[in-house]
Amino acid sequence: MTSTQAIGVFDSGVGGLSVAKKIREMLPQEDIIYIADSRYAPYGNKPRQFIEQRSRALSGFLLEQHVKAIVVACNTATLSAIQQLRSDFTVPIIGVEPGIKPATLNTRTGVIGVMVTTRTSQTEAFHELVKRYSENVKIEVQACDGLVEQVEQGDLTSNTTRALVERYVRLLLDKGVDTIALGCTHYPYLIPIIKDVAEPGIEIIETGTAVAKQVVRRLSEENRLTSKKTAGSDIFYTTGDVAVVEQIVSYLWGQPEKVLPCQI
């Protein structure tokens, strides 16, 4: 393994681009390989065994591309599969978790909300996370069925998307939350609507920046940060419809990008 190798990132779909973009901002010289498992998105309604299987396959593909680290840019996959991945593979594997800890530190009323997928809300790891931080704070969990699908379609502003966001945010506001943690990497793309729907003073916590900082820390510890001075490359793969995903990736990434097919 050399410092010039790429950082691998995977998600059930395009949501993990919100994390990859933070990594790109902090590490502009690093190469990034991103794979969207769009054929099987969303993971939020899939059984744990299936998510473990897909996470292992995606990690294996990234390792075939000789990545020096893998970022599991998916809350559901992190909570369902990361321990197994760390057991199976030797490269650094960095996951994402709902921002419950920073939300508990931010709250003034002692009530926080967490927006997650159904599958995330059912995992033992998530239950343990909630239990760990709920001693002095009330944590209201809201499963948000349908939001991932809207982002996967590149639909961030329609009346349908807004109605879904409004329904879930209102359910949390009715329970007195003053801070909302986003427990899915797709949800940061919906922050403008969430803020518009939420009451003034409601704080929104997303964890992409924290994950990117963790990537920097891990690579620094292992002396794996690239020494090159030129801009890093971005390579995108998908297991889904290349033409569809390419359009959405280009939209979310902020510039035209080519997406390559991946048959795994």
pLDDT (tens digit, 9 = 90+) per residue, 197-221? Answer: 998 999 999 999 999 999 999 999 9
Tell me the C-alpha distance between 174 and 180, whole Å.
13
Paired tokens of 89: 């593979």
Distance CA 232, CA 37 (A): 23
Q: Which of 23, 33, 74, 77 is catalytic?
A: 74
Domain 7-96+208-261 and domain 100-205, same fold? Reply is yes
pLDDT confidence of residue 113: 99
pLDDT in tens, 113-145: 999 999 999 999 999 999 999 999 999 999 999
| Domain residue limits, the chain | 7-96+208-261, 100-205
The SS3 of residue 139 is strand
Could you read off the pLDDT of 68-104 as tens digits, one per residue?
A: 999 999 999 999 999 999 999 999 999 999 999 999 9
Torsion angle defined by CA atoms of residues 104, 108, 109 and 111, in that order, rounded to the nearest 10 degrees: -20
Give the active site residue among 184, 194, 204, 212: 184
- Any idea of the CA torsion for 94, 99, 102, 104, to the nearest 10 degrees? -140
Does the annotation count 144 as an active-site position?
no
Cα 158 to chain center, whole Å? 22
Residue 17 to residue 24: CA distance in whole angstroms? 10
CATH architecture under which domain 7-96+208-261 falls: 3-Layer(aba) Sandwich (3.40)
Q: Omega of the bond prior to 42 within 30 degrees of 0, cis?
A: yes
Catalytic site includes residue 74: yes
The CATH code of the domain at 100-205 is 3.40.50.1860
Q: Where are the beta strands (DSSP E) in 40-146?
A: 69-72, 93-95, 111-116, 138-143
